[in-house]
Amino acid sequence: MAISTKFSAFACATVTALALTSATANADTFTISYENPGVQNSTIVLGPGIVLGVETFDGRALGTGGFTTDYGTSGAIVGTYSPSTDIVPFDLYGGAGGVNQYADAIGGTSGYTLSLATSTGGVNYFGFWLSALDLGNQLVFKKSGSTVGTYSPSDMLSALGACPEAYCGNPNPSRLGQDSGEPFAFVNFIDTSGSFDEIDFFENPDVGNYESDNHTVAYCPDPTACETGHVLNDVPEPLTLSLFGAGLVGAAATRRRKKPTA
């Protein structure tokens, strides 16, 4: 049975502990889940009324810029990525399948924004392959300019476990096992009490880059029909959560290089 959890905001309490607090008084209720190790696409099964599409970033112009996509939905869902979206070739940190391209966020806490428009009942699902997950990979979900959910990676890192474990390291044959100190997982977010029309991607704290791929959006008339993967447990708010293993904190907080922006 899926268990829903309200999103929580990120705050770094100490080197070994994170504080999870309520993101907003008007927060929607979300179900957050993650797929099995190595899975790099959504596993939602299409059903009545479900509209689903994927942006792979393949074929997009490399470098920093903006673009619009309909995710292959014939215009039912249209997304506009802000000009600060950085499209880069696959490497040890990202690129689903170990080929082609992925989206990155460079520039500290500025990141990039995805604006969504739809002819359906609204977008209430977002999923992406979150590669090289670190403590800075933040998401903010908005509706008509108001925040409805803020996600911190701390609870996901805790669920996936301290490295080394099944999710750690690039799972693709061309880069197998590289970047072994960071988890790679496909993560699902379902707004079970509303919808959203904007997602902000940014790094806070600024400990590295924000790599992701296979951005998947959907309208699910019955949100429970789109629940998939391993669902996170309820997160009481506020809560201080100690991470499992000092190695995870060290690997994620001190992090790797910055990619060159040129």
Domain edges within the chain: 5-254
What amino acid is encoded at 175 in this protein? R
| pLDDT for the residue numbered 161 | 87
Distance separating alpha carbons of residues 89 and 22, to the nearest angstrom = 36
Asked whether the beta carbons of 114 and 99 are under 8 A apart, the reply is no
Q: Is 185 exposed, middle or buried (0-12, 13-18, 19+ CB in 10 A)?
A: buried
> What is the radius of gyration, based on Cα positions, of the chain?
17
Structure tokens at 172: 């693709």
What is the value of pTM for the model shown? 0.83
CB atoms within 10 A of CB 34: 22
Low-confidence ranges of the chain (pLDDT < 50): 1-24, 234-255, 257-258, 260-262
Distance separating alpha carbons of residues 88 and 92, to the nearest angstrom = 12
> How many CA atoms does the CB half-sphere of 41 hold within 13 Å?
9
Structure tokens at 253: 């907080």
| pLDDT for the residue numbered 40 | 98
Q: Which residue has the tokens 């904190």?
A: 249
- Quick one: which of 187, 163, 171 has its CA closest to 253? 163
- Quick one: which of 237, 173, 206, 192 has its CA closest to 33? 192
Q: In 23-145, where do the E strands start and end?
A: 29-34, 51-55, 63-69, 77-89, 101-104, 112-118, 125-130, 137-143
Asked whether the beta carbons of 78 and 70 are under 8 A apart, the reply is yes
Distance separating alpha carbons of residues 11 and 127, to the nearest angstrom = 23
Asked whether the beta carbons of 32 and 188 are under 8 A apart, the reply is yes
| pLDDT for the residue numbered 207 | 87
Please provide residue 70's backbone torsions phi and psi, each rounded to the nearest 5 degrees.
-110, 10
| pLDDT for the residue numbered 194 | 95
Asked whether the beta carbons of 95 and 101 are under 8 A apart, the reply is yes
Distance separating alpha carbons of residues 27 and 170, to the nearest angstrom = 33
- Quick one: which of 177, 185, 181 has its CA closest to 232? 185
